[in-house]
Amino acid sequence: MRKFLPLKVSISGVRGIVGESLTPQLAARFASAFGTYLGQGQVLVGQDSRPSGLMLKKAVIAGLLATGCQPVEVGILPLPTILFLTRKMQARGAVVITASHNPSNWNGLKFISQDGLYLRSSEVEEFLDIFHQGEFTYVPAERIKPALSEKEAGYLHLRRIFSQIKVNEIKKRKFRLVADCANGAGATLLPRFLQELGAEVRFINTELSGKFAHQSEPTPENLKELGHEVRALQADLGLAQDADADRLALVDEQGQPLGEDATLTLSVDHVLSRKKGPIVVNLSSSMVIEDIARKYGVRVYRTKIGESNVVEKMLETRAVVGGEGNGGVIWPAVHPCRDSFTAAGLILEKLSSFPGSISQLMATYPRYYLLKDKFDCPAELAFKVVTELRRRYQRENTSTLDGLKIIWEEAWVHLRPSNTEPIMRIIAEARSPEKARQLLERFKGEIEQILKQMS
Amino acid sequence: MKPLKLSVSGVRGIVGQAITPELVINFASAFGTMVPAGPVLVGRDSRNSSPMLTDGVISALLATGHEVIDLGLCPTPITQFLVKNKKARGAVSVTAGHNPASWNALNFINSQGTYLNEFQGQELLDIYHLGRFKQLALKRAPKIIRELNPEEPYLEWLLGRLHLTPIKRAKFRIIVDPTNGAASKLIDKLFALLGVQLIAINNEGNGYFPHDPEPRPRNAIEVSSLVKITTADVGFLLNSDASRVSLVSEDGETLSEEYTLPLVARYYLKKHPGPVVTNLSTSMMIDQVARGLNLPVIRTKVGQSAIIQAMLEEKASLSGEGSGGLAFDFFQPAFDALVTMALYLEMMAVEGEKLSTLVKRLPRYHIVKDSLVCPAYRLHTLVAEVKKLYKGLEINQLDGLRLEKRDLWVHVRASTTEPLIRVIAESTSQHRAQMEVDRIMAFLRRLTA
């Protein structure tokens, strides 16, 4: 396969490999483009725990200073916390140095608007136009402002969540928990969060060394250590954050991973039990969401993959809850972004109102099996594959909003090129693991055949 | 036209025009690629824009695999001293020295603590122009060490090399204007250690320049009036990174920056005899002093880089320029206004003479300087044109044009720091020098019109 340059510029920002494609020059140019786009004002600069974060932060600050912005360094913080603070501190925007779940040799920049949201697709276009034209509004020396530093702001985020959940109910249950921060940014605030919820917690992987304890995608393999600790401690629940703490995965009291959709399922159900309203989830989230919606008689909107798409639709439909099946829960009552802290708060509140264990609680929902796979596929080939499959399956019930999703009774398959890496993702869900596996294999075979024909 | 000046020792320009974060990162990346892995120092002056440049420099040094020792606000001569003191691979000093506040620059310093010499400078530019910089994957978090009191080892070293007793005994009162630059506050420490009563103005280090940060009589008016009011023994005016200094004598006379080198030379050379290095534009006063001591004067191209390179090659004892930058081999091969001020006090204490008396002992020359703004790409062509005015005369072309006729010399050259042609003439007659400069300026204006 042709060697590709590992740099991706997409709606969620820019990502690349440090030492190859993601250089300080590029970071400074992006920051100057962003400063030009925002106009002069305060811009938060945060980061995850990756070792290259410091280098990129310096370049970003130089880029912002040169365009007359006043950077406010907030240090290593969870992504949802930075999003929340951007609005709370009335900043003009924020730059976050992170590559979320990508391997630790990657890094990237995310750009946040004044309202604490990722730039909308139309805003990204305007911003990228400025970047590509390369005409930045550098200010003369006398209008360069001093950079500021604000290291204690993270607690404001926790306080907001506490104001929205029943802290005392949760405290009464005296939860015993194990929490895995994956050596990511969540480790800066999760101990304090769970402690104030009255839980007895054993923490693992709380170093901010930037060496992620495991691949931070919360797949069953990556939750082994957590499951082991939960069993050893006879804990009620295991919580696992991803590297930038926007997603949360769960392990039940027997140490078994609860499947990626459990976090969203529990959170959506719990929010709706308090307040009815529309739900927004992406195309790849489980069908169980429709089951829950039916229970409360509310409407489900499905969007393209990507947090910003979900958030945009949520704001448009005044949704009460939403998110992504990969553990990203969005509760606008706190802030319209994926937030592992919010998710943990909702789930602990839900569990504190349920008389049984977490696995008994999960058993009250219809069971689906979701399988994922991915393979290397450069963007232009992926596009051709999707076009061909759309042609073949045009008679089925399909959605072409994002790649191709084919929906049957009690099963679906979703194929789409990734926005952040040159790979193609394939996801299938069905009522049995065999059926899901069958679907996955069938489509993988079909794609391989199409690729062979094309080459 | 965005003025940008590349020279062997660094890059200089107006912030927001030529000096952008990307340019800074590219140059610092070239430097980081050139020097072997290891710690690199980064110091800066107090300009508003200096933290921006510093962040860009640090990011590039980290990306090219270096550990960074961040000195914060730090005069260039102290940064140079610390390179050897901390066994660093080199340093970057962020300062535009004497240029106005809208300017800034990166000055690159090698592992010997001196400005890059012409070969190193050429290598840096080659790497910059090629644009292929070293890049590390940064699997382990790179380190930035923040040095909170970088001046301490320097002050200890400096004090160890001075005759402290006479200085302390003299109980001097002095006026110093560090122009709110990198030496602000630090001079309080230095002169307290020397037992000198210091009255400092513009000593905030906030980057607000009350006048252009260039040590020369027109910027020394405040110092002069304070010297008179407080009956101080001497007044000093520094540039923004404390590499240059000009003097005000005890009678309040604002001395041309040309005096800084020859006035102290006799005292220093008697103790440390050796050749003197200066540039082609500097006053002949130094030749008079050296002749008296039977020491040679070697003249080089203008600029700290060329001067220091010659100083090291010729094993010179003293070097300096008419701009007020002096380097003493007994101290360090770097233009150092802090050393220079301390030596002036030592000389005044040991010799027991007033500065105005010492001035009178020097031959009276009249130096006239003028400059013409001109597009960077025409600088050298226009300078060469001036040859037409001096057909038949012997012309030194080491750095622009320099020629001597009877009691007069003339130097016409392209500035290395700004898009300017500088025209300088010196003569025992003010009138003769002025006439010569006017003649050349008129000729150049006709060409540029």
Any idea what the Cα angle at residue A353 is, between residues A351 and A357, rounded to 5°? 40
Residue A320 lies in a domain: yes
CB distance B51–A59 less than 8 Å? no
Mean pLDDT of B386-393: 90
Residue A223 to residue A251: CA distance in whole angstroms? 8
Q: Are residues A308 and A381 in the same domain?
A: no
Q: Which of A155, A180, A213 is the last residue of a domain?
A: A155
Considering the domain architecture, whether residues A209 and A358 belong to the same structural domain is answered as yes
Q: Is the pLDDT of residue A298 over 50?
A: yes
Nearest Cα to Cα of residue A256 among A234, A286, A224: A224
Query: Phi-psi category of B152—alpha, beta or left, where left has phi over 0 and alpha has psi -120 to 50?
Result: alpha
**Cβ atoms within 10 Å, residue B431:** 10
Q: Which residues of B touch A66 (CB under 8 A)?
A: 15-16, 20-21, 52
Amino acid identity for residue B288 in this structure: Q
Q: How confident is the model at residue B125 (pLDDT cuts 50, 70, 90)?
A: very high
Provide the number of structural domains found in chain A: 3
**Tell me, what amino acid is at B10?**
G
**Chain A residues 36-65 with CB within 8 Å of chain B:** 51-59, 61-63, 65
- Is the pLDDT at A420 greater than 70? The verdict is no
Nearest to B62 by CA among B40, B87, B85: B40
Task: Transcribe A242-291 into DSSP letters.
Answer: -TTSS-EEEE-TTS-B--TTHHHHHHHHHHHHHS---EEEETTS-THHHH
Residues of B in contact with A48 (CB under 8 A): none
CATH (domain of A57): 3.40.120.10
Residue pair B246/B255 in contact by the 8 Å Cβ criterion:
yes
Residue A304, in any domain of the structure:
yes
| Nearest-angstrom CA–CA distance, B424 and B430 | 12
**Sequence-distant (≥ 6) Cβ neighbours of residue A224 within 8 angstroms:** none
**B25, closest residue in chain A (CA to CA):** A25
Looking at the fold, whether A184 and A65 belong to one and the same domain comes out as no
Reduce the DSSP state of residue B18 to 3 states and report it.
Answer: coil
Confidence of residue B142 (pLDDT cuts 50, 70, 90): confident
Q: Rounded to whole angstroms, how far apart are CA atoms B151 and B362?
A: 35
Is residue A248 located within the same domain as residue A295?
yes
Contact (Cβ atoms closer than 8 angstroms) between residue B230 and residue B173: yes
A233 and A374, same structural domain? no
Reported as a single tens digit per residue, the pLDDT across A117-170 is 988 878 988 999 999 998 899 999 999 999 999 988 999 999 999 999 999 999
Across the A:B interface, residue pairs with CB atoms under 8 Å apart total 129
Q: Select from A335, A362, A389 the last residue of a domain.
A: A362
Q: Name the helix (H) or strand (E) containing A17.
A: strand A13-17
CA–CA separation, A386 and A110 (whole Å)? 28
The pLDDT of residue A244 is: 87
Best A18, A138, A145, A211 residue to mutate vs chain B (most B CBs within 10 Å):
A138
* Whether pLDDT at A392 is above 50: yes
Alpha carbon B86 to its chain's center: 23
In this structure, the answer to whether residues A235 and A343 fall within a common structural domain is: yes
Same domain, A378 and A354: no
Pairing of strands B197-200, B90-94: unpaired
Return the residue of B nearest to A63 by Cα: B21
In angstroms, rounded to a whole number, what is the distance separating the alpha carbons of residues A24 and A52? 10
Determine the residue of chain A that is closest to B100 in CA distance.
Answer: A141
Dist CA B287 CA A119 (whole Å)? 68
Q: Which residues form the domain of A430?
A: 369-454
Residues 6+ apart with CB under 8 A from B141: A51, A52, A53, A54, A209, A210
Q: Looking at residue A211, what is its pLDDT?
A: 72
* A2 found inside a domain: no
Assess whether pLDDT exceeds 50 at residue A1.
no
Whether pTM exceeds 0.80: yes
Q: Which of B229, B268, B267 is nearest to B250 (CA)?
A: B229
Whether A303 maps to a domain, the answer reads yes
- What confidence tens digit (pLDDT) does each residue in A89-103 have? 999 999 999 987 788
pLDDT of residue A121: 78
Q: What's the CA gap between A362 and A340, in Å, rounded?
A: 19
Residues A141 and A178 grouped into a single domain = no
User: What is the arrangement of strands in the sheet containing B326-328, beginning at the earlier edge strand?
Assistant: B297-300, B276-279, B318-320, B326-328
**Residue whose C-alpha is closest to residue B43's, from B54, B34, B27:** B54
3-state secondary structure of A150: coil
Question: Which chain B residue has its CA at the smallest distance from A21's CA?
Answer: B135
pLDDT in tens, B394-447: 999 998 999 998 889 999 999 877 889 999 999 999 999 999 999 999 999 998
Phi–psi pair at B156, nearest 5 degrees: -60, -45
How would you classify the pairing of strands A237-241 and B39-44?
unpaired
Closest residue in A to B26 (Cα) is: A25
- Closest Cα to residue A100, out of A202, A186, A209, A225? A186
- The answer to whether the CB atoms of A55 and B25 lie below 8 A apart is no
Angstrom distances, CA of residue A254 to CA of A57, A231, A346, A357, A362: 42, 6, 21, 10, 13
Amino acid at B381: T
The pLDDT of A271-276, averaged and rounded, is 96
For A32-72, what is each residue's pLDDT tens digit? 999 999 998 999 999 988 999 999 999 999 999 999 999 99
pLDDT in tens, A222-232: 899 999 999 99
pLDDT at position A217: 66
Per-residue burial over B35-46, b = 16 or more CB atoms within 10 Å of its CB, e = otherwise: beeebbbbbbbb
DSSP annotation string for A314-352: HHHHT-SEEEETTTEEEETTTEEEE-HHHHHHHHHHHHH
A293 in Cβ contact with A409 (< 8 Å):
no
Q: Which chain A residues are Cβ-neighbours of B138 within 8 angstroms?
A: 18-19, 51-52, 55
- Cα distances (Å, whole numbers) of residue A20 to A7, A50, B63, B136: 9, 16, 11, 8
**Which member of B29, B102, B136 has the closest CB to residue A141?**
B102
A21 touches chain B (CB under 8 A): no
**Residue A164 is assigned to a structural domain of this protein:** no
Instruction: Give the β-pairing of A200-204 and A176-180.
Output: parallel
Mean pLDDT confidence for B148-171: 97
Q: What values do phi and psi take at B12, rounded to 5? A: -145, 145
Chain B residues within an 8 Å CB radius of A27: 59
Q: Which residues contact A222 (CB under 8 A, 6 or more apart)?
A: A182, A214, A215, A216, A240
Q: Give me the pLDDT at residue A193, please.
A: 97
What is the C-alpha to C-alpha distance for residues A301 and A314, in angstroms, rounded to an integer? 9
Give the pLDDT score at B327.
Answer: 98
Based on the fold, state whether residues A325 and A376 are members of the same structural domain: no
Residue A402 sits in a domain of what CATH number?
A: 3.30.310.50
Confidence of residue A9 (pLDDT cuts 50, 70, 90): confident
Instruction: Tell me the percentage of chain B whose pLDDT exceeds 90.
Output: 88
Residue B17 CA to residue B65 CA, distance in Å, equals 29
Distance (Å, whole) CA B35 – CA B117: 14
Cβ(A170)–Cβ(A353) below 8 Å: no
Residues of A with active-site annotation: 100
Closest by Cα among A20, A26, A19 to A6? A20
Residue A162 within any structural domain of the chain = no
Q: How far apart are CA B215 and CA B217, in angstroms?
A: 7
Contact criterion met (CB below 8 Å) for B283 and B367: yes
pLDDT per position as a tens digit, A315-348: 999 999 999 988 999 999 999 999 999 999 999 9
- From A340, A362, A384, the end of a domain falls on A362
Q: Which residues of A touch B22 (CB under 8 A)?
A: 25, 28-29, 32
State whether B21 and A28 contact (CB < 8 Å).
Answer: yes
Q: Is A65–B55 a contact, with Cβ atoms under 8 angstroms apart?
A: yes
- pLDDT on residue A2: 44
Chain B residue at shortest CA distance from A18: B137
Residues B170 and B430: their CA atoms lie apart, in Å, by 37
Q: Which of A50, A55, A61 to mutate to test the interface with B (most CBs of B within 10 A)?
A: A55
Q: Looking at the structure, do residues A17 and A112 belong to the same domain, yes or no?
A: yes
Closest residue in A to B27 (Cα–Cα):
A25
pLDDT of amino acid A306:
84
User: Across the interface, do A55 and B47 touch by the CB < 8 Å criterion?
Assistant: no
Q: Does A23 touch chain B (CB under 8 A)?
A: yes
A99 CB within 8 Å of a chain B CB = no
Average confidence (pLDDT) over B37-52: 97
A340-352 and A155-164 helices, crossing angle to 10°? 30
Q: What pLDDT, on a 0 to 100 scale, did the predictor assign at position A176?
A: 97
The SS3 assignment for B4 reads strand
- Residue B449's pLDDT is 77
Shared domain for A288 and A380, answered yes or no, is: no
C-alpha span between A254 and A228 (Å, rounded): 9
* Average pLDDT estimate for B214-223: 96
CA distance A411 to B252: 94
Give, to the nearest 10 degrees, the angle between helix A24-38 and helix B50-63: 140
| Poorest-pLDDT segment among A28-37, A123-132, B162-171, B344-353 | A123-132
For B232-269, how does the pLDDT look when each residue is reduced to its tens digit (9 = 90+)? 999 999 999 999 999 999 999 999 999 999 999 999 99
- Partners of B52 on chain A (C-beta within 8 Å) are 61-62, 65-66, 144
Could you tell me what percent of chain A has a pLDDT over 90? 73
Residue A70 · residue B74 · CB < 8 Å: no
Query: Chain A closest CA to B208's CA: distance in Å?
Result: 9
Asked if residue A1 is part of any domain, the answer here is: no
CB contact under 8 A, A66 and B48: no
Domain assignment of residue A163, yes or no: no
Q: What CA–CA distance (Å, rounded) separates A129 from A308? A: 19
In chain A, what residues touch B137 (CB-CB under 8 Å)? 17-20, 52, 105
Which residues in chain B are contacts of A102 at CB distance < 8 A? none
pLDDT of residue B385: 92
Q: Residue A444 in 3-state DSSP?
A: helix
Mutation target vs A (from B47, B68, B138; most A CBs, 10 A cutoff): B138
> From CA A8, how far away is CA A21, in angstroms rounded?
9
**Cβ–Cβ contact A27 with B under 8 A:** yes
Average pLDDT value over all residues in chain B: 94
Residue A218 above 70 pLDDT? no
Q: CB of A18 within 8 Å of any CB in chain B?
A: yes
Do A356 and A307 belong together in one domain? yes
Question: How close B409 comes to chain A (CA, Å)?
Answer: 39
Residue ranges of domains in chain B, CATH in brackets: 4-148 (3.40.120.10), 153-361 (3.40.120.10), 366-448 (3.30.310.50)
